[in-house]
């Protein structure tokens, strides 16, 4: 497991994501989700590559239902890009690292 990916909960989502000085790519996922597991290595790489410029945060929807409901997570993986506490971009479904990288680049 990569140390640079942050695992947020309902309790610390605001401080980890909404109050971040850097753009944050949030991955809403679950243990049972195959496509979520497929994109995990790309997220680990992005977290390392963007360290100091942007953050990658994962939220397990089964353990953090309030946050999942707040952002209307209906299918996973669902990735939201936050900047200054606001959602800037949404990606539903597994996509390649390049596409996720473009999402982050637009917010930098």
- The single residue of 25, 36, 59, 79 carrying the catalytic annotation is 36
Is residue 94 a contact partner of residue 41, using CB atoms and an 8 Å limit? Answer: no
Question: Interhelix angle for 34-49 vs 97-107, to 10°?
Answer: 50
Catalytic residue among 33, 56, 78, 104: 33
Contact 90, 80 (CB under 8 A): yes
36 in catalytic set:
yes
Contact 98, 48 (CB under 8 A): no
At residue 80, the 3 state secondary structure works out as: strand
Residue numbers annotated as active site: 33, 36
């Amino acid at each position: 497991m990569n140390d640079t990916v942050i695992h947020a909960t309902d309790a610390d989502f605001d401080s980890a994501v909404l109050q971040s000085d850097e753009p944050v790519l949030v991955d809403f996922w679950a243990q049972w989700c195959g496509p979520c597991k497929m994109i995990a290595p790309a997220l680990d790489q992005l977290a390392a590559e963007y360290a100091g410029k942007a953050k990658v945060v994962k939220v397990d929807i089964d353990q953090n239902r309030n946050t999942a409901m707040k952002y209307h997570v209906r299918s996973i993986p669902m990735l939201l890009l936050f900047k200054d506490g606001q959602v800037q971009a949404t990606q539903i479904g597994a996509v390649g690292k390049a596409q996720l990288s473009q999402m982050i680049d637009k917010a930098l």
